[in-house]
Amino acid sequence: MRALLIRDLRLAVRAGGGFGLGLAFFLIVVVLIPFAVGPQSALLARIAAGVLWIGALLACLLSLDRLFALDWDDGSLDLLATAPLPMEAIVSIKALAHWLTTALPLVVIAPVLAVLLNLPAAGYWPLVLSLLLGTPALSVIGTFGAALTVGLKRGGLLMSLLVLPLYVPTLIFGAEAARRGAEGMAYGTPLIFLAGITCGTIALLPFASAAVLRVNLR
């Protein structure tokens, strides 16, 4: 398991720049928002938490189709499937690798981008906390979407259509926690709901992803 994780991390960092791409995308989304809604800092401060959440979510989505596609193309996915490791473990490791290489950098860079969007000082901790708790769910759900569409030639667009509705609960609670924090309200409740969703998806969704992957490898 550890070998697989290290291999996936190496591939993500070294091969083809998938690593920085998500971050760059996140940055560009955040830079484009003021052009679209205007430079008034009061308005930006109000929408900052939501924009950062949407940006992080889209950046996660963008990198999902690389999750299984490369292994599928060169056949290493078949090798992994015949390995003694259960499919559920493989899927979980893939999700973990995706989270470490894509989502965690987003969480780290989010406070920096929040400065650009004039996020109120009270909002930084809630933003980071909610992203930290919420992004694992995004990775795990995304793994399910990637496993569904792995065999398709142009699965990327279809995967967005499948994955985005599944992101709704996570986004609602995550963005709500960040928004409440930015407005100086108590943000414990949505944060707890968010943590619940994350724990639930981590516990259950790998089984669905593994089942889907087995069907696709048949």
Partner 1 sequence: MASIWSYANPKKFIDTTDRVLPVLSVLALAALVGGLVWGFFFTPDDYKQGSTVKIIYLHVPAALMAINAWMMMLVASVVWIIRRHHVSALAARAAAPVGAMMTVIALATGAIWGQPMWGTWWEWDPRLTSFLILFLFYLGYMALWSAIEDDDTAADLTGILCLVGSVFALLSRYAVNFWNQGLHQGASLSLDKEENVADVFYYPLLLCIAGFVLLFVALVFLRTQTEIRARRMRALLARERLND
When asked if residue 169 is in the footprint of partner 1 (CB under 8 A), the reply is yes
Non-local (6+) Cβ contacts of 88 within 8 A are 206, 207, 209, 210
In the block, tokens 């009061």 appear at 42
Residues 192-211 that bind partner 1 (CB under 8 A): 193, 197, 205, 208, 211
When asked if residue 8 is in the footprint of partner 1 (CB under 8 A), the reply is no
Applying CB under 8 A, among 47, 158, 183, 202 the residue interacting with partner 1 is 158
Alpha carbon distance 75, 73 (integer Å):
6
Alpha carbon distance 54, 151 (integer Å):
28
CB-wise, 116 or 162, nearer to partner 1?
162
Using the rule CB under 8 A, give the single segment among 33-41, 109-117, 121-129, 158-166 that binds partner 1. Answer: 158-166
Q: Give pairs for 161-166: CB < 8 Å, separation 24+.
A: 163/61, 163/64, 164/61, 166/141
Alpha carbon distance 181, 172 (integer Å):
14
Residues 87-146 that bind partner 1 (CB under 8 A): 144
Applying CB under 8 A, among 55, 136, 155, 206 the residue interacting with partner 1 is 155
CB-wise, 27 or 152, nearer to partner 1?
152
CB-wise, 18 or 123, nearer to partner 1?
123
Which pair of tokens denotes residue 120? 């109120």
CB of 215 to partner 1, least distance (A): 4
Using the rule CB under 8 A, give the single segment among 37-45, 55-63, 95-103, 152-160 that binds partner 1. Answer: 152-160
134 and 155 in contact (C-beta within 8 Å)? Answer: no
In the block, tokens 């473990």 appear at 89
Applying CB under 8 A, among 63, 143, 149, 198 the residue interacting with partner 1 is 149
DSSP for 159-190, please give it: HHHHHHHHTHHHHHHHHHHHHHHHTT---HHH
CB-wise, 7 or 214, nearer to partner 1?
214
The residues that touch partner 1, with contacts defined as CB under 8 A, are 144, 148-149, 151-152, 155, 158, 161-162, 164-166, 168-169, 172-173, 176, 190, 193, 197, 205, 208, 211-212, 215-216, 218
